[in-house]
């Protein structure tokens, strides 16, 4: 089976943020990821991770206010200074927490100017932080209306255009199903560019266990291919997180 990670922004929400780290370890997860850790003191998160010997594998570039705010702004023309400022903030957190990846969110935008802005910002970020692994992720426009990076072919084209060794694809099986409808065919196209995987059920974004996507077969497929990254559960539990973890066992 792959190495599994827990998204602490969605799982174990009945607990405080710091308590979720211990809960993830006790539940059998091999690592954790966090969408936006910026409201928590870096040293407290680092202390809890070290205590439980649990790696943090991914954080997102920070919108200044996620609640009701923009979903990133790396593709928004005119927002370059804002992007660079907040990317440096993300780097400080990634360094303190030893995060494997920083996911750079494009934000809501469209057209050639947005694409050029996104490519330029990605090139700057990759050059500014050559030792930090970065990701981009296609997100469906039902969940995030207007999101610029909403297509897997576009993502692969942009990765090729930026051509940075520290920039890869974040493959979310949920978004692949929503955007394409055939997750496995999309994976076959994207596998060589993928550095991180996220999973959830396509209906309601709950535990990846309904068999709309045959996740046991997908995990076996990953093993057969020699995938060595993490597979992160990024979903909304139907009830208590601990009651829906058969999928990692």
Show the tokens assigned to 42: 């870096």
137: annotated active-site residue: yes
Beta bridge partners of 7: 33
Could you confirm whether 44 is annotated as catalytic?
no
What lies within 8 Å, CB to CB, of 50 at 6+ separation is none
Residue 30's nearest CA partner among 18, 38, 21 is 21
For the chain, list residues with pLDDT below 70: 63-70
pLDDT tens-digit map of 70-96? 678 899 999 999 999 999 999 999 999
Q: What pLDDT does residue 249 have? A: 86
pTM of the shown model: 0.95
pLDDT single digits (tens) 150-172: 999 999 999 999 999 999 999 99
Q: Which residue has the tokens 């065919």?
A: 185
Nearest in space to 59 (alpha carbons), one of 127, 131, 115, 135: 135
Residue 75's closest CA among 144, 2, 172? 144
Which pLDDT score, from 0 to 100, does residue 60 have?
95
pLDDT of residue 128: 97
Q: Which of 19, 40, 207, 234 is catalytic?
A: 234
Residue 91: count other Cβ atoms within 10 Å of its Cβ.
Answer: 17
Quick one: three-class SS letters along the chain? CCEEEEECCCCCCCCCHHHHHHHHHHHCCCEEECCCCCCCCHHHHHHHHHHHCCCEEEEECCCCCCCCCCCECCCCCCCHHHHHHHHHHHHHHHHHHCCCEEECCECECCCHHHHHHHHHHHHHHHHHCCCCEEEECCCCCCCCCCECCCCHHHHHHHHHHHCCCCEEEEEEHHHHHHHCCCHHHHHHHHHHHEEEEEECCCCCCCCCCCCCCCHHHHHHHHHHHCCCCEEEECCCCCCCHHHHCHHHC
pLDDT the model gives residue 69: 61
Of 137, 203, 225, 242, which residue is the catalytic one?
137
């Amino acid at each position: 089976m792959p190495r599994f990670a827990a998204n602490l922004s969605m799982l174990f929400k009945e607990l405080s943020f710091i308590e979720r780290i211990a809960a993830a370890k006790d539940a059998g997860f091999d690592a954790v990821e966090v969408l936006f850790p910026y409201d928590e003191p870096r040293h407290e998160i680092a202390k809890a991770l070290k205590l439980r010997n649990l790696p943090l594998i991914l954080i997102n570039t920070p919108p200044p206010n996620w609640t009701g705010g923009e979903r990133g702004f790396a593709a928004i023309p005119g927002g370059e200074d804002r992007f660079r400022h907040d990317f440096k903030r993300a780097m400080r957190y990634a360094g303190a927490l030893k995060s494997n990846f920083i996911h750079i969110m494009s934000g809501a935008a469209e057209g050639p100017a947005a694409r050029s802005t996104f490519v330029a910002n990605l090139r700057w970020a990759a050059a500014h932080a050559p030792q930090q692994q970065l990701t981009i992720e296609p997100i469906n426009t039902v969940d995030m209306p207007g999101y610029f990076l909403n297509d897997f072919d576009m993502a692969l084209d942009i990765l090729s255009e930026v051509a940075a060794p520290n920039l890869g694809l974040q493959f979310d099986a949920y978004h692949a199903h929503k955007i394409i409808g055939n997750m496995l065919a999309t994976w076959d196209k994207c596998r060589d560019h993928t550095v991180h995987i996220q999973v959830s059920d396509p209906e309601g974004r709950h535990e990846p266990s309904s068999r709309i996507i045959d996740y046991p077969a997908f995990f076996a497929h990953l093993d057969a291919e020699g995938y060595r990254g993490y597979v992160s559960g990024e979903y909304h539990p139907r009830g208590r997180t601990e009651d829906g973890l058969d999928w990692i066992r």
